[in-house]
């Protein structure tokens, strides 16, 4: 008897086939974007080598958005292509991995590993909840405050918001029987939206708020001669940041209130958890000491010659971060296996070093300046402040097309900075406006930055609601940072 083979594929096979088709389509879009640019006649004044670099860079950015492979792999492919196709010599293609800023980010990710391993991050969150978590709004502020405190040193939003704040928030929501579905609005939906929106604010407040901020600092120095040190970034952000931090949760509470207003069980939960944790361990104390030392040196490191009368030179913040890691290794808080296993850190190292160098090299070709000259014509008849507002709004809402702050920054920060500067805007005003809005724009979507899929994926908030609230929140954020922010920078004498 002939055996019968069922022609209908299993659900697993259909799923695998569908995933393969989607991946092929994504690769097709990436490659077509490169070929489309490569086939355009090279403009006068631009070398064929530079034009190839542009094609590879655009394909890498689109690949980072569509993600046919993870971002780190996409950038590694791009770096390899620049050397293989002679867009950059191999030593120049790999130059980004020797950049101190790349090592700063790597070291800061290791510090975040120490926060999680010792439990210090969780203890900080529980202390805030015990103090002000008796009301649902206060509970949100407590968890958001944890995020802000950790953002002063930890650039990994995945570790900070997704690894520390998210599990606690989810546990507290479930304590009040709030789960995805009919009970979501009891507490979980409100916490999800509020804490993600506050994480975006935390990203904007510190140079270490998220990994791309140091790329912004590098571009600002490269294109405008403005050095955004840790302390300068913090001073510029502190007033508009605190105003946003105070008002945005209140706005969300009004627009999207939880059904449960009082949460005494949350404070009790925190009290019980702290009792279970007991006194601070040796690891936590060392982690706290390193946390404080690194934060202090980042604030005053560049001012050491002034403070010590020239006896101690300025300390680069990458050196500070590496010293912090060495202390953690020497004290046993972290061991070498912890560093090796920190996959997120090494992933960022690969795409960060490659992407920074590609963007920097592209700026050296003159292509971004040519783009800026063309774009400047669109606002040439406007007064400078009108042109600034128009360009900032375009830059901000362009984030709908980006799956990460890094992709947005590397693709658009330099061109828009050059265009704004050509309009006669103060360099500091241009640099800071784009820097802070680069972070705040991640509030718009459920894929805006690393923690967004974590919070949205919890299932408490529908997609339409997430996007609607993101759009609404973006308006006061822009007004605060371009209103209160501009006034604050004027008072500082920066603009």
pLDDT digits (tens, 9 = 90+) for 388-432: 998 999 899 988 877 678 878 887 898 899 889 888 899 999 999
* Residue 6 lies inside a defined structural domain of this protein: no
Decide if 402 contacts 411 (C-beta within 8 A). yes
What pLDDT score does 171 carry?
A: 85
* Residue 400 lies inside a defined structural domain of this protein: yes
Sign of the alpha-carbon dihedral angle for 92, 375, 468, 68: negative
- The DSSP annotation for 63-132 comes to HHHH-SS-HHHHHHHHHHHHHHTTSS-HHHHTGGGG-HHHHHHHHHHHHHHHHHHHTHHHHHHHHHHHHH
275 and 378 housed in the same domain: yes
What pLDDT score does 7 carry?
A: 52
What pLDDT score does 487 carry?
A: 96
* Residue 72 lies inside a defined structural domain of this protein: yes
305 and 401 housed in the same domain: yes
More reliable by pLDDT, 309 or 59: 59
Tell me what percent of the residues of the chain surpass a pLDDT of 70: 95
* Residue 351 lies inside a defined structural domain of this protein: no
**Across 218-241, average pLDDT:** 93
**Segment of 284-298, 345-359, 364-378 carrying the highest mean pLDDT:** 284-298
157 and 237 housed in the same domain: yes
Domain with 47 in it: 24-87
What pLDDT score does 193 carry?
A: 95
In sequence order, what are the residues at sequence separation of 6 or more whose Cβ sits closer than 8 angstroms to the Cβ of residue 197? 248, 249, 252, 443, 469, 470, 473
380 and 258 housed in the same domain: yes
**Segment of 198-207, 360-369, 453-462 carrying the highest mean pLDDT:** 198-207
For residue 63, pLDDT beyond 70: yes
112 and 80 housed in the same domain: no
What is the distance of C-alpha 367 from the center of its chain?
26
* Residue 211 lies inside a defined structural domain of this protein: yes
- Per mean pLDDT, which range of 79-93, 134-148, 166-180, 325-339 is the poorest? 166-180
| Confidence category of residue 10, pLDDT binned at 50, 70, 90 | low
* Residue 380 lies inside a defined structural domain of this protein: yes
- The DSSP annotation for 163-174 comes to IIIHHHHHHHHH
pTM: 0.80
164 and 307 housed in the same domain: yes
- Per mean pLDDT, which range of 96-110, 408-422, 436-450 is the poorest? 96-110
The stretches of 303-425 forming alpha helices (DSSP H) are 304-307, 317-331, 336-341, 343-365, 367-376, 384-397, 405-422
| Confidence category of residue 3, pLDDT binned at 50, 70, 90 | very low
pLDDT digits (tens, 9 = 90+) for 16-52: 778 888 899 999 999 999 999 988 998 888 899 999 9
What pLDDT score does 1 carry?
A: 43
470 and 405 housed in the same domain: yes
- Domain boundary residue, one of 87, 118, 137: 87
Question: How distant, in Å, are the alpha carbons of 379, 409, 480, 488 from that of 484?
Answer: 25, 23, 5, 6
Domains held by the chain: number: 2
71 and 150 housed in the same domain: no
245 and 371 housed in the same domain: yes
Decide if 289 contacts 114 (C-beta within 8 A). no
What pLDDT score does 205 carry?
A: 96
| Confidence category of residue 437, pLDDT binned at 50, 70, 90 | very high
- Domain boundary residue, one of 45, 63, 87: 87
- Domain boundary residue, one of 52, 87, 122: 87
Scan for tokens 């969150």, then name that residue.
125
What pLDDT score does 57 carry?
A: 87
Greatest Cα-to-Cα distance within the chain, rounded to the nearest angstrom: 96
465 and 414 housed in the same domain: yes
| Confidence category of residue 11, pLDDT binned at 50, 70, 90 | low
* Residue 7 lies inside a defined structural domain of this protein: no
* Residue 92 lies inside a defined structural domain of this protein: no
197 and 290 housed in the same domain: yes
What pLDDT score does 299 carry?
A: 80
- The DSSP annotation for 405-446 comes to HHHHHHHHHHHHHHHHHHTT--HHHHHHHHHHHHHHGGGSST
Tokens of 325: 């890691």
61 and 173 housed in the same domain: no
């Amino acid at each position: 008897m002939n055996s019968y083979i069922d022609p209908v594929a299993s659900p697993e096979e259909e799923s695998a086939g569908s995933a393969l088709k989607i991946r092929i389509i994504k690769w097709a879009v990436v490659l077509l974007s490169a070929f489309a640019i490569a086939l355009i006649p090279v403009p006068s004044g631009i070398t064929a080598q530079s034009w190839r670099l542009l094609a590879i860079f655009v394909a890498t950015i689109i690949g980072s958005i569509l993600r046919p492979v993870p971002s780190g792999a996409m950038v590694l492919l791009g770096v390899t292509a620049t050397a293989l196709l002679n867009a950059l010599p191999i030593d120049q293609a790999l130059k980004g991995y020797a950049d101190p800023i790349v090592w700063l980010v790597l070291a800061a990710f290791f510090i975040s590993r120490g926060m999680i391993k010792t439990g210090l991050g969780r203890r900080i969150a529980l202390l805030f909840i015990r103090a002000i978590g008796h009301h649902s709004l206060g509970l949100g502020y407590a968890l958001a405050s944890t995020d802000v405190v950790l953002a002063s040193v930890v650039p990994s939003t995945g570790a900070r918001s997704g690894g520390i704040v998210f599990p606690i928030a989810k546990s507290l929501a479930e304590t009040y029987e709030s789960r995805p579905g009919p009970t979501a609005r009891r507490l979980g939906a409100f916490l999800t939206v509020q804490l993600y929106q506050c994480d975006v604010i935390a990203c904007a407040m510190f140079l270490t708020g998220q990994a791309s901020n140091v790329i912004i600092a590098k571009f600002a120095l490269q294109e405008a001669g403005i050095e955004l040190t840790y302390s300068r970034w913090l001073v510029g952000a502190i007033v508009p940041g605190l105003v946003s931090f105070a008002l945005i949760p209140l706005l969300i509470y009004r627009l999207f209130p939880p059904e449960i207003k009082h949460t005494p069980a949350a404070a009790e939960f925190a009290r019980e958890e702290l009792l279970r944790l007991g006194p601070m361990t040796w690891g936590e104390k060392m982690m706290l000491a390193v946390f404080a030392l690194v934060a202090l040196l980042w604030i005053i490191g560049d001012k050491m010659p002034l403070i010590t009368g020239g006896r101690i030179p300025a300390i680069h913040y990458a050196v500070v971060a590496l010293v912090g890691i060495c202390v953690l290794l020497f004290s046993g808080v972290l061991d070498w296996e912890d560093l090796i296993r920190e996959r997120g850190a090494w992933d960022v190292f690969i795409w960060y070093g490659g992407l920074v160098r590609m963007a920097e090299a592209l700026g050296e070709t003159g292509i971004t300046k040519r783009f800026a000259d063309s774009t400047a014509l669109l606002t040439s008849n406007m007064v400078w402040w009108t042109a600034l507002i128009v360009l900032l709004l375009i830059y901000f809402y362009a984030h709908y097309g980006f799956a990460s702050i890094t992709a947005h920054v590397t693709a658009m920060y330099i061109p828009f900075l050059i265009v704004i500067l050509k309009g006669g805007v103060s360099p500091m005003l241009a640099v800071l406006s784009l820097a802070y809005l680069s972070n705040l724009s991640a509030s718009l979507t459920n894929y805006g930055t690393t923690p967004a899929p974590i919070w949205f994926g919890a299932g408490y908030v529908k997609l339409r609601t997430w996007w609607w609230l993101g759009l609404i929140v973006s308006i006061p954020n822009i007004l605060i940072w371009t209103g209160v922010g501009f006034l604050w920078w004027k008072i500082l004498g920066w603009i």
